[in-house]
A and B are shown apart, each in its own frame.
Chain A
């Protein structure tokens, strides 16, 4: 039996891989930024994770994929949606979480989860890339600022401006107008992040606000997004150490459940094996205390012949043979 399982999140802008041992411990993980639903990105993240664990694909007992490209991964034995996987991964990272906010490259979703990490309700952006990483990417380009610097810059906002359009293209026009009016980049970026937070609050409203709330996905690495969402929600957000890998972790955990269930008989320890044999022997015994040896006619506790009918039955059998 193989000793590891793999979860792969084939996302729209990044690929994430998590490898677990059979006890559910993370052995390695990798994130590759290779562009939209890139086959190369996925291969790279899988290779990085395997190399870091000192394993090859042949050592992996079960591979589960998720994300937009989940159906495109040849190595995957099964695939699940990113909603199911993010919920499972987020609850594994933050036990007790009841709401998961995941903002990824091209979609944002709010997932209400039960105590087992199973999805009870969900809502996702259904118009366009409104309120997603793509929205930030488009506006970063319009404002000529590196994507990774957006968050820190936005945190320095002083004046509260408003961007009313959630369409990335129309919002770009608004941003350019605000800059043309002389507003500093910090304030405009603050408004951009506030717009994402309002959109997220709308999704939260659709599934019901409750806590603790975990934020996953690439946008969780943006401090301004986290700040404004917390402000809108009026609740703290819990951020896992590596929020991007929640989906891949969830996929790996689902794969682990599956693999363990399929190989249940191979997974028992030596002590469990002994205990099971003893139990089976006890179950087979036709008299109390018998351990399945041919002394079935004698009660081993008393070393006395069994009285009554059983004794006569034994006697007649002995005569026969």
Chain B
């Protein structure tokens, strides 16, 4: 199978996740469980025999959804509600909500009111990550989620099934991490839109099918030699729940940029951490939840011994990145609150960065291009100096 064919398969699922879900359901006759980002353990739903799918922001303009959420909610939550009201989520047999921020909670309530016939599973995860009771409370949450899924599926979710799902998900994450490593070394020249297709489709597709395609893709690059690159090496940061728009990523790369790393949710954040494969699977998922925040720190969690800004600077040193573009979705409160710390740390470290605020309803790309090009010129001048 050619590289292009594999990427096209990923892109098709990434662009239209709900159509993929319909086809998968027709093919397998099994249920589809949609979930909000960012910490839902897909392994549990997979072990229960369902297709776990992280619900994605749609490109369509917000229409009827305006009647339920205010325009100062982020594009992701408004799009979720809009898709629910339009009936796009009819394919889902259940929806799983988490509680990362007030806007997601508001969207969950609005969707619950609309989709009265859809099973709604709500679970809370402790956001304080370094207390002595964090592990225990996380285990309680995941155990409760397991019980709800068993009730939904009408069957017990066995430990063996969970271990098998954990192994499959770990393999999938590990393969994507290999691609990241290959991209960093210049062996796998994957553009950031292609990388987004890889990760986003992993959030959507049947994990075994996705893993099989990933193995083929990794094999293509396995024996490749590093390609020389003359572009400015940048790290992309931010954008939690929703994927940055592909046209924005393309525009950034058109300005003479090679993206060598990211901590986007539709990127490295999603696949940073594996679940322990031994021992009690619920305890393993709780460990994974806690380790993820040290793997790639998240501003929605609180952990005194972890700094997102310090993580970013270290990651960039490792990636040999010369600057960072921060993509901040309007109005992502956790990101907005944390950004001043990142800005201060980057200024102190004399590391250039550019903040771009993104919107669901389109952006002035030409004006943004001028800003990105200027940023690239600044980085180049610094290199020359």
Contact = CB atoms under 8 A, between A and B. Distances in A.
Contact of A82 (B364, B370, B378, B381): B370
B370 A81 contact: yes
B140 interface: no
Contacts of A107: 367, 370
Contact of B378 (A68, A116, A119, A124): A119
A203 B370 CA distance: 16
Interface residues of A, number: 14
Interface in B363-378: 364, 366-368, 370-371, 373-374, 377-378
B370 A119 contact: no
A265 B374 CA distance: 31
A126 interface: yes
A118 interface: yes
B interface, size bucket: 10 to 19
A80 B357 CA distance: 23
A84 interface: yes
Contacts of B357: 126
A2 B320 CA distance: 40
B377 A81 contact: yes
Contacts of B377: 80-81, 84, 119
A81 B367 contact: no
Contacts of A122: 371, 374
Interface string B327-370: 00000000000000000000000000000010000001011101
A287 B371 CA distance: 58
A124 B374 CA distance: 11
B371 A124 contact: yes
A83 interface: yes
A118 B367 contact: no
A126 B367 CA distance: 7
A118 B379 CA distance: 11
Main secondary structure of the interface of B (DSSP, over half): helix
Interface string A62-95: 0000001000000000001111100000000000
B374 A84 contact: yes
Contacts of B371: 83, 122, 124
A73 B134 CA distance: 61
B365 to A, nearest CB: 12
Nearest to A83: B374
A68 B366 contact: yes
Interface string A94-134: 00000000000001000000001011101010100000000
A142 to B, nearest CB: 24
A256 B368 CA distance: 28
A260 to B, nearest CB: 14
B305 to A, nearest CB: 32
Contacts of B385: 116, 118
A81 B364 contact: no
Contacts of A84: 374, 377-378
Contacts of B368: 126
A68 B370 CA distance: 8
Contacts of A118: 378, 381, 385
A11 to B, nearest CB: 12
Given A68-B366, A124-B367, A126-B367, A81 B374 contact: yes
A206 B364 CA distance: 20
B231 to A, nearest CB: 16
A122 B368 CA distance: 13
A14 B364 CA distance: 21
A189 to B, nearest CB: 27
Contacts of B378: 84, 118-120
B364 A124 contact: no
Nearest to A107: B367
A84 B367 CA distance: 14
Contacts of B370: 68, 81-83, 107, 124
Nearest to B356: A126
A80, A81, A119 pick with most chain B CB within 10 angstroms: A81
Contacts of A68: 366, 370
A242 to B, nearest CB: 23
A138 B169 CA distance: 58
Given A118-B378, A118-B381, A81 B373 contact: yes
B364 A126 contact: yes
A49 to B, nearest CB: 24
A116 B381 CA distance: 11
Contacts of A124: 367, 370-371
Contacts of A80: 373, 377
Contacts of B364: 126
A80 B378 CA distance: 11
A119 B381 CA distance: 9
A71 to B, nearest CB: 10
Contacts of B366: 68
Contacts of A82: 370
Nearest to B354: A122
Nearest to A127: B364
Contacts of B373: 80-81
B367 A119 contact: no
A177 B144 CA distance: 62
A124 B355 CA distance: 12
Interface of A: 68, 80-84, 107, 116, 118-120, 122, 124, 126
8 contacts: A68-B370, A80-B377, A81-B373, A83-B370, A84-B377, A118-B381, A119-B381, A126-B368
Interface of B: 357, 364, 366-368, 370-371, 373-374, 377-378, 381, 385
In the A-B complex, the 9 residue pairs with the smallest Cβ-Cβ separation, listed nearest first, are: A83-B374, A81-B374, A81-B373, A84-B377, A118-B381, A81-B370, A119-B378, A84-B374, A80-B377
Given A81-B370, A81-B373, A118-B385, 15 more contacts: A68-B370, A81-B377, A82-B370, A83-B371, A84-B374, A84-B377, A116-B385, A118-B378, A119-B374, A119-B377, A119-B381, A124-B367, A126-B357, A126-B364, A126-B367
